[in-house]
A = this chain, B = another copy of it.
Amino acid sequence: MAGRKSPEFPAKESEIYKIPSVAGKAKQKSERQRIPEAVIKRLPRYFRVLRELFNSDVLRVSSGELAELMGMTASQIRQDMSCLCAFGQQGYGYGVKQLYTRISEVCGVSCRYSAVLIGAGDIGKTLIKNMIFEQRGVKLKAVFDTDRSVGTPVYDCTVMDISKFVGFCEENAVDIAVVCAASDAVPGLLKLIKQTDIRGIWNFSLCEISPEESGLSVINTALGDSLMLLTYEMTRENENKH
């Protein structure tokens, strides 16, 4: 991992992208060509790995080094970065900070969306405690629930009653609802959400929310699904030994 600062690798972005022809090419691509689905799905992992490198004061990284670190091919990494118009420099590699910043832009981390969490249970606490929101540029503005938990503190929020949900979201320009409620509460919550300007749902309930029906951006997390990928792999590994 090449970590030393060198005169050949200027820290300021403006110095790197000074050649007009390259800048022109990059712009054209970002406007015309959409980023392939497969690349998008890899971005969050790049994001995490690059942040760790940045925190370890690594200034630059080559596609070969990153490939080794992430268990993929250098070719794929260069292809991916090319899709993002995240240009490196021949002979030197990529600037860790520049790459991290570019991925943040593409993924909307720099948009600084605001969110509210519905359901003050264990999964909500996990997300808050692990700073899942902060690290992805999302500001958690409030936690809502019904019944007994209202008024109790959840880290730096106090649980509010769901009756205040619509009003709060309008006043605070909330973009994202994080749904951690029980399945049977979900249809009712969807009606409330539609009364606000919320445009995205991060759904941890066991009830799938359809992006088409809701007309919103939706990610259904399905917490248990990856356990089946694990048991599949364990079973297949076993078969291969016979």
Q: Which residues of A contact B (CB under 8 A)?
A: 40-41, 43-45, 47-48, 71, 106-109, 111, 113, 121-123, 125-127, 129-130, 132-133, 135-138, 175-176, 199-202, 206, 210, 212, 217-219, 221-235, 237
Inter-chain pairs besides A41-B229, A132-B223, A132-B227, 16 sampled, C-beta below 8 Å: A45-B225, A47-B228, A48-B222, A48-B225, A108-B228, A109-B231, A111-B234, A121-B126, A123-B123, A130-B223, A135-B224, A136-B231, A137-B231, A176-B231, A200-B230, A217-B234
Q: Which residues of B contact A108 (CB under 8 A)?
A: 228, 231-232, 234-235
Q: How far is the CA of A17 from the CA of B38 in the complex (A)?
A: 38
Q: Which residues of B contact A232 (CB under 8 A)?
A: 40, 43, 106-108
Whether A224 touches B113, Cβ cut-off 8 Å, given contacts A210-B71, A234-B217, is: no
**Of listed A127, A130, A212, residue having the most chain B CB within 10 A:** A130
A202 in complex: contacting residue of B47, B202, B226, B235, CB < 8 Å: B226
Number of copies: 2
CB pair B125–A228 under 8 Å, yes or no, is no
CB pair A111–B43 under 8 Å, yes or no, is no
Q: How far is the CA of A235 from the CA of B138 in the complex (A)?
A: 13
CB pair B222–A45 under 8 Å, yes or no, is yes
A-B contact pairs, 11 of them (CB 8 A): A43-B232, A47-B228, A108-B232, A108-B235, A111-B235, A122-B123, A133-B227, A136-B228, A199-B237, A200-B234, A202-B230
A140 to chain B, nearest CB (A): 11
CB pair A230–B44 under 8 Å, yes or no, is no
Q: How far is the CA of A210 from the CA of B45 in the complex (A)?
A: 14
Q: How far is the CA of A202 from the CA of B121 in the complex (A)?
A: 22
**Of listed A122, A125, A202, A227, residue having the most chain B CB within 10 A:** A227
Q: How far is the CA of A125 from the CA of B121 in the complex (A)?
A: 10
